[in-house]
Amino acid sequence: MIESADGPGGAAGDQDWLAIWRQMYDAERAQTEALAAAREPADDHWAHQAARFARATGRAPQPDDFMRFVLPHLQPDDHVLDIGAGAGRHAVYLARRNLHVTAVEPSPSMRQQLQQRLADTPGAELTLVPEGWPDATTPMVDVAICAHVIYGVREIGPFLLHMDARTRRACFVLVGERQPAYYINPFWQRIYGEPRAPLPGARECLNVLHQLGIPARTARLPASRYLFADQHEALADLRWRLRLPPDSAYDAALHTAMHELLEPGAEGQLMPKSQLAQVMVLWWEPRP
């Protein structure tokens, strides 16, 4: 059970949760840089991976559990902000419902996938902002959403405060107690011989919000299962997340781990055995 902070203002529970957040982020980054050999492109984290990610996330039908939670809070003609829209699984769905959507996405490859998905929705009202948050320039909106983005944000205070400041009625952050890519932890242990350092998640975010004076409410939702279409897609995903180059000395160990740690899905796909069962929605009404 996630524990909420003691109350708005000051350090929640006499701890500086902003500092705790940065420490967790830095520890995970330091471990990755020290152990993992392959490096990501400096200009785009998702380069060469966005198409595969879009296919994987597109397998879950919409509206998903997060959208079903948000929809009752929306009104006709609302302007919705999607921070870190990725390939557009939520932004495009909302645009199809005749809402005006501003989608903030800094990755060029992810924006390309979003635009391809949007091309199948003629007349949808969606504005794509090619910047990162909180630096993006956006109009005031009625509702803001942010799904599984904050794990990779070091300075979470400005991120959440700007989200609050640019929204009139309601903000929704979807976040796991651990990041959804938690499923690579057993693979990481097999390959590198040590546990994966955790990134901050729902507990830390809730306490950060209260430390910032934002008393958020919480709701638990079922977590979407991550599916690989086949062995080839699973291998590509795991190599990327573990930062392993193709045909490396780790291949034998990785193939053995895949055999033991993946299980077949109902339609022949492959699923990691170690996945989150639930995620959290943290939501609040912005301050006047």
**pLDDT digits 0-9 by tens, 108-133:** 888 998 998 888 777 788 999 999 99
**pLDDT digits 0-9 by tens, 215-242:** 999 999 998 888 888 898 899 889 888 9
Would you state the pLDDT for residue 11? 46
Reduce the secondary structure of the chain to three states and give it as a string.
CCCCCCCCCCCHHHCCHHHHHHHHHHHHHHHHHHHCCCCCCCCCCCCCCHHHHHHHHCCCCCCCHHHHHHHHHCCCCCEEEEECCCCCCCHHHHHHCCCEEEEECCCHHHHHHHHHHHCCCCCCCEEEECCCCCCCCCCCEEEEEEECCHHHCCCHHHHHHHHHHCEEEEEEEEECCCCHHHHHHHHHHHHHCCCCCCCCCHHHHHHHHHHCCCCCEEEEEECCCCCECCHHHHHHHHHHHCCCCCCCCCHHHHHHHHHHHEEECCCCCEEECCCCCEEEEEEECCCC
Would you state the pLDDT for residue 9? 39
In the chain, what percentage of residues exceed pLDDT 70?
Answer: 87
Would you state the pLDDT for residue 3? 40
Would you state the pLDDT for residue 2? 40
Asked whether residue 43 carries a pLDDT value surpassing 90, the answer given is no
Overall pTM surpassing 0.85 (yes/no): yes
> What fold, for 12-284?
Rossmann fold (3.40.50)
Asked whether residue 53 carries a pLDDT value surpassing 70, the answer given is no
